[in-house]
């Protein structure tokens, strides 16, 4: 195993990290993690700061802006940074089929513009991609970054435009790296779970965000836990704290991660969506002392997400490349879901107390407020 390299940067000599998409699920946790390390100057950009509520410090500067409409700001932030972290993407399976051109425009065209600016200013780029790039591939026992083929569905299944855009971006970055134009690292996340993920929805909602927000919303409202196509596809889930440590490992070892691709996930936390539903119902009772009133209800993928949707099981990730750098996931599947659920259950209770006139305990905004659309940050793993 390669010995972990300790960062030479300190509070007096900070590394400047630009996080594009800092206001999303992954970005807000990344900002929080880097602030706690106290050796980074962090500059964030996003269209919303809601998930950053309560996360602040003199080392963090936030610009509320849409990078597509603020090219001068984007260029200045990249020019002034030592490392650029690109998290910008639509992360909502419904949008993949209802507005595929918008998905491609943001997830590929805008991200390519960011890469071009990194090339122009000679900046290191850490690009968050997606486990979706493996597509429908089911051969073998795990996805391996440098050898596993990617197989996507037919063109009329527009759900795959998300994965196609991510694949194309990876290939362009790789070509620039091979040509000596760009110092990059690509991270392929596998279903990160934690507080502040996506947004919650009302009872009986269809479409919208990823599986965890749907299921915790159902448990909080008594609505059904909808199992798309029976809930038999598999996903490997990982605690957001383990994701932060994986990012730290990549950030601290630029020489060993230069022009490399890394799976970031926990292969031990591999479940079917039906198993996730049952686990969350069990944990709900464990955490609240009450039996959930929600029921499991099957629904077709096209009925839930819309025409053009298609899905398939995924293999768990092979994470031996990242393990060789000293990282390993630390949270099992129960701890991963328990911690995420506890956040929403506590927030819901405190919100109800506030409405009863007993005040708030300082948690983020009411989780039952319904957002109109997912902002352009975060990752698209369902």
Catalytic residues: 162
What's the distance, Cα to Cα, between the start and end of the chain in Å?
32
Q: Taking Cα atoms as reference points, which of 237, 238, 246 lies closest to residue 322? A: 246
Question: Are residues 84 and 78 in contact, defined by beta-carbon separation less than 8 angstroms?
Answer: yes
**Residue holding tokens 């855009």?**
165
CB 287 within 8 A of CB 341: yes
Run of H or E including 211: helix 211-221
Task: Please give the backbone phi and psi of residue 187, each rounded to the nearest 5 degrees, phi first.
Answer: -110, 130
The alpha carbons of the chain give a radius of gyration, in whole angstroms, of 20
Nearest to 203 by CA among 173, 226, 174, 178: 226
Query: Parallel, antiparallel, or unpaired: how do β-strands 296-299 and 234-236 relate?
Result: unpaired
d(CA 301, CA 303): 5
Contact status, residue 264 vs residue 189, Cβ threshold 8 Å = yes
Within its chain, how far is the Cα of 88 from the centroid? 10
Report the distance separating Cα 103 and Cα 159, nearest Å.
10
């Amino acid at each position: 195993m390669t010995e972990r390299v300790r960062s030479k940067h300190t509070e007096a000599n900070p590394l400047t990290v630009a996080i594009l998409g800092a206001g999303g699920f992954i970005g807000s946790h990344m900002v929080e993690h880097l602030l706690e390390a106290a050796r980074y100057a962090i500059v964030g950009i996003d269209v919303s700061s809601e998930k950053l509520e309560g996360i602040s410090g003199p080392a963090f500067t936030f610009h509320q802006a849409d990078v597509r409409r603020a090219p001068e700001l984007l260029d200045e932030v990249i020019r002034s940074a030592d490392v650029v972290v690109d998290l910008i993407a639509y992360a909502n399976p419904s949008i993949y089929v209802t507005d595929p051109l918008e998905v491609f425009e943001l997830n590929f065209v805008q991200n390519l513009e960011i890469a071009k600016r990194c090339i122009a200013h000679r900046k290191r780029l850490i690009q968050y991609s997606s486990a979706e790039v493996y597509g429908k591939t089911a051969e073998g026992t795990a996805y391996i970054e440098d050898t596993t083929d990617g197989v996507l569905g037919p063109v009329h299944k527009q759900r795959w435009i998300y994965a196609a855009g991510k694949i194309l971006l990876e290939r362009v970055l790789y070509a620039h790296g091979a040509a000596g134009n760009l110092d990059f690292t690509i991270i392929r996340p596998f279903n990160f779970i934690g507080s502040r993920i996506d947004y919650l929805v009302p009872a009986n909602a269809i479409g919208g965000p990823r599986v965890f927000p749907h299921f915790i919303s159902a448990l909080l409202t008594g609505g059904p836990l909808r199992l798309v196509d029976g809930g038999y596809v598999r996903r490997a889930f990982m605690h957001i704290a383990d994701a932060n440590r994986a990012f730290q490992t990549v950030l601290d070892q630029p020489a060993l991660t230069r022009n490399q691709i890394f799976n970031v996930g926990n292969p031990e936390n591999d479940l079917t969506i039906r198993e996730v539903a049952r686990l969350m119902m069990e944990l709900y009772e464990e955490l609240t002392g009450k039996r959930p009133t929600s029921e499991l209800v099957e629904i077709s993928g096209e009925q839930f997400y819309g025409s053009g949707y298609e899905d398939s099981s995924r293999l768990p990730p092979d994470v031996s490349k990242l393990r060789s750098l000293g990282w390993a996931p630390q949270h099992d599947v129960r701890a991963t879901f328990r911690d995420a659920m506890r956040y929403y259950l506590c927030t819901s209770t405190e919100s109800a107390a506030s409405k009863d006139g007993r005040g708030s305990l300082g948690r983020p905004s009411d989780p039952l407020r319904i957002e109109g659309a997912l902002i352009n940050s975060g990752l698209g793993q369902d």
